[in-house]
């Protein structure tokens, strides 16, 4: 995936390579792979988002490293990749949600919102004069009484997942989910699974103060970020696997 010298096919978004690839889009995905890990899990009674913020310094206010955003009453988003790009997409999503409320007097469907964001991202992969977005989003919400969980990528591709992860720890996260995900889990069980996935992705360098959790339940479809105490309670209650060779 890490190409050598691409003979210039990778210098502009308006140029296909001879084998039909858009290298600039693939490089934008690398920006996502360098980002912090975010995971999303669809449960039978709701959807959850978890991120590891990797705060480096005690001088930093941890809450300023926002990685989970509330978009509308019933939709939340987690991001990975370029921070400035993510903020722009989040703002756009919020505006789309408001336009829908004002125009149709009802909240926007989660999949409608996800498509609008992806259509916007696609434009940056076809026209020159700008670069693709170097960010991916997990979009979680409840529409018509159903949990939805979407993942976008820099190409504008949109996929719905039962459970997924983005960012530097994606491979580790997906391994945990492939083995342990159960669609019958409730939100509580989901949070435990998500924490285990984050724990795996960070190779045990897991820090309770840097975990951010967002949740929305089907019964009460209001997206909210958990308070630090609630997060702490979940972390304390989760059984993490000791990495092989440690005790």
Can residue 63 be called a binding residue for a second copy (CB under 8 A)? yes
> CA–CA separation, 175 vs 197, rounded Å?
8
133: Cβ contacts below 8 Å, ≥ 6 apart: 28, 81, 82, 85, 88, 89, 121, 124, 154
- Considering only residues 209-238, where is the footprint of a second copy by CB under 8 A? none
Site for a second copy in 87-126 (CB under 8 A): 87-88, 91, 115, 118-119, 121-122, 124-126
Say whether 68 sits in a helix, a strand or coil: strand
Could you say whether residue 18 binds a second copy (CB under 8 A)?
Answer: yes
Q: Is residue 20 at the binding interface for a second copy, with CB under 8 A as the rule?
A: yes
The answer to whether 76 and 70 are in contact (CB under 8 A) is: yes
Neighbours of 71 (CB within 10 A): 27
Q: According to CB under 8 A, which one of 58, 105, 106, 220 is a site residue for a second copy?
A: 58
Q: Give the distance from CA 130 to its chain's centroid.
A: 23
Binding residue (CB under 8 A) for a second copy from 44, 162, 224, 232? 162
Instruction: Answer for the pair 42, 147: CB distance below 8 angstroms, yes or no.
Output: yes
- Out of 46, 76, 132, 167, point to the residue binding a second copy (CB under 8 A): 132
Q: Does 130 bind a second copy (CB under 8 A)?
A: yes
Residue 64 binds a second copy, judged by CB under 8 A: yes
Interface pick for a second copy out of 28, 77, 211, 231 (rule CB under 8 A): 28
């Amino acid at each position: 995936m890490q190409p050598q010298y691409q003979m210039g096919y990778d210098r502009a978004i308006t140029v296909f390579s001879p084998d039909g690839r858009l290298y600039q889009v693939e490089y934008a995905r690398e920006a996502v792979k360098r980002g912090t890990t975010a995971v999303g899990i669809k449960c039978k009674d709701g959807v959850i988002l978890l991120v590891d913020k990797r705060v480096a310094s005690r001088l930093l206010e941890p809450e300023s490293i926002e990685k989970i955003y509330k978009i509308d009453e019933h939709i939340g988003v987690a991001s990975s990749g370029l921070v400035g790009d993510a903020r722009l997409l989040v703002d756009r999503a919020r505006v789309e949600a408001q336009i829908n409320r004002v125009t149709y007097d009802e909240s926007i469907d989660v999949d409608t919102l996800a498509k609008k964001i992806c259509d916007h991202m696609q434009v940056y992969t076809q026209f020159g004069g700008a670069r693709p977005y170097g960010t991916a989003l997990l979009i979680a919400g409840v529409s018509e009484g159903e949990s939805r969980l979407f993942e976008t990528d820099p190409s504008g591709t949109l996929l719905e997942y039962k459970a997924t992860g983005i960012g530097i720890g994606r491979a580790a996260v997906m391994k945990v989910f492939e083995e342990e995900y159960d669609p019958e889990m409730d939100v509580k069980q989901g949070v435990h699974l998500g924490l285990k996935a984050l724990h795996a992705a960070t190779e045990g360098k897991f820090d309770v103060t840097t975990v951010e959790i967002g949740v929305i339940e089907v019964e009460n479809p209001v997206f909210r970020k958990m308070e630090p105490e609630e997060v702490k309670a979940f972390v304390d209650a989760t059984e993490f696997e000791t990495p092989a060779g440690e005790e």
